[in-house]
Structure 1
Amino acid sequence: MQSVARVITRLETTQAVIALTFDCGADRGYAEEILDELARHGIRATFGMTGAWARANPDLVARMLREGHRLINHSDTHPSFTGRSTGSPPLSVDQRAAEIRRAEQAVAAVSGSETTMRPYFRPPYGDYDEALLTLLPELGYSVVVMWTVDSLGWRGIPPEEVVTRVLAAAQPGAIVLLHVGAQSTDAAALPQLIAALQERGYGFVTTDAQLG
């Protein structure tokens, strides 16, 4: 078994493809509108799924799976595992494992399999340490999916700024961090963002498309 999970910030490819990833940690937000927009273009995206979100929105989880999107484990309740971003104490090994397993169980209630999200994990707030990278493979997770660019839509910046930020970082294999929540402007930016990236010749893939 792999002893330490590897961390990726972009997909290893020279192809003109980009991975749109949407974290689902807060409210239902604009998830339906995002899924509608992706469906209009035949785009498959990646969703960082918390257990809490999956329990609250099983219909959308089912739709994501039905429409071919990729789910990655984003913990159960979205705590910082290290405490770095929240000023809280680090989670213990048992607490970390429980967060990951409970998220699996929440998605399994919809998908029928506790391995649906393996082997991909995205740490809440992007906070991780060596202890987490060692623990993850024991739980079936070998890849930590970070990002090339954070749209900052979650801060409520104008949709036009979201598009500008992502375009500035666009490159083959770029992983874009977006959010579905109601406070985020990512959904409003999505139609323009897709159009702008397509104009530059980019296609779209899920994060596992170029990963073993």
Structure 2
Amino acid sequence: MKKNNLGNYLIIGFFALLLGVIAITNSNLFNKSKTQILDSDLSTTEYNWYFNPREDHKQPDPIKEADFFKSYNTYYVGDPNEKVIYLTFDAGYENGYTNLLLDTLKKHNAPANFFVVKSYIENNKDLVNRMVKEGHLVCNHSKSHVSMASIDNIDKFNEEILSTAKAYKEVTGKEMPKYFRPPMGKFSERSLKYTQDLGYSTIFWSFAYVDWYDSNQPSHEEAKKKIYSRTHPGAIVLLHSNSQTNAEILDEVLTHWEEEGYTIKSLDYLTDKKTS
């Protein structure tokens, strides 16, 4: 009788354990399915980042129809009560002006943040290493400079960011700072979520002007007037490093900002990762 009871207990225990394993497996599958459903439910509508410029030295209002951006570790401006400027340069290719930009930044002890594509890293190793050596952040601008909102496959999406970070590490021996600027300012709710899932902050901007056409550069006076009139506390300033005008006026612009009481900080300061 006792042996029969023991056998029954063992059988009951076995089936209880089996049911527990099945329950855990189903739970994991459910959670995985739930995650996939949540990701697929995110909007893929493509938006173009913009802000509403103002010339009273107050922060501009950002895009209204896509205010979900605030939920995805995204920045376009800093503290409105702090006279700090975050100077960023987008670099899709080298046009011969970056050394001059770096010379000027060094003169003013001003840290900048360069958003570069993968080919820029591979084709300009000396410049990238100089940026890092002189205290600038070299950040991620994607592999192919495509709209991240247009990429349906998550592996292809991740490849745009991760392959660029890999190229940076191969050239510098360091991990790439986890700041991402979406090419052309194009984004969707899903692309911001995927970027955040990779551990990156998305960096938009609160100032930009048309400075990227090599054959149609703004005049010095036109550029300075626009920059000075729209400067504001916490500004994330987007310039392009291929611009001859930017390279030639940067010394004067930095001097003007210093006289106005502004300091230049890196994105690490903006995101509270460290003081700089």
Alignment of 1:31 with 2:31, yes or no, is no
Query: What SS does structure 1 have at the residue aligned with 2:270?
Result: coil
Q: Relative contact order (alpha carbons < 8 A, sep ≥ 6): 1 or 2 greater?
A: 1
Query: Where has structure 1 moved over 6 Å in runs of 4 or more?
Result: none
2:141 counterpart residue number:
74
Alignment of 1:185 with 2:245, yes or no, is yes
After TM superposition, the structure 1 = structure 2 runs for residues 1-212 of structure 1, keeping only pairs within 5 Å, are: 5-12=72-79, 14-82=81-149, 90-92=150-152, 93-113=154-174, 115-118=175-178, 120-141=179-200, 143-155=201-213, 156-181=217-242, 183-212=243-272
- Residues in 2 aligned to 1:38 and 1:167: alpha-carbon distance in whole angstroms: 18
Q: Deviations over 1:42-75 (max 9, x none)?
A: 1111111211101000111111111110122110
Gaps of 5+ in 1: 83-89
Aligned length: 199
Displacement of 1:166 in angstroms is 1.6
Contact 1:21 1:176 in 2 (8 A): yes
Contact 2:87 2:113 in 1 (8 A): yes
Contact 1:19 1:173 in 2 (8 A): yes
Contact 1:154 1:186 in 2 (8 A): no
Query: What SS does structure 2 have at the residue aligned with 1:193?
Result: helix
Gaps of 5+ in 2: 1-38, 40-70
CA-atom RMSD in angstroms: 1.7
- Residues in 1 aligned to 2:168 and 2:220: alpha-carbon distance in whole angstroms: 31
- Residues in 1 aligned to 2:227 and 2:267: alpha-carbon distance in whole angstroms: 17
Contact 2:77 2:205 in 1 (8 A): yes
Give the TM-score normalised by the residue count of structure 1.
0.87
Give the TM-score normalised by the residue count of structure 2.
0.68
Q: Determine what percentage of the aligned residue pairs are the same residue.
A: 33
Query: What SS does structure 2 have at the residue aligned with 1:201?
Result: coil
Structure label with greater radius of gyration: 2
Displacement of 1:6 in angstroms is 2.2
- Residues in 2 aligned to 1:208 and 1:164: alpha-carbon distance in whole angstroms: 29
Contact 1:13 1:173 in 2 (8 A): yes
- Residues in 2 aligned to 1:167 and 1:193: alpha-carbon distance in whole angstroms: 8
Residue type matched to 1:51 in 2? K
Residue type matched to 1:144 in 2? T
Contact 1:23 1:177 in 2 (8 A): yes
- Residues in 2 aligned to 1:176 and 1:29: alpha-carbon distance in whole angstroms: 21
Contact 2:139 2:177 in 1 (8 A): yes
Contact 1:22 1:180 in 2 (8 A): yes
Which stretch has the larger CA shift, 123-132 or 94-103? 94-103
Displacement of 1:13 in angstroms is 5.2
* Larger helix percent: 2
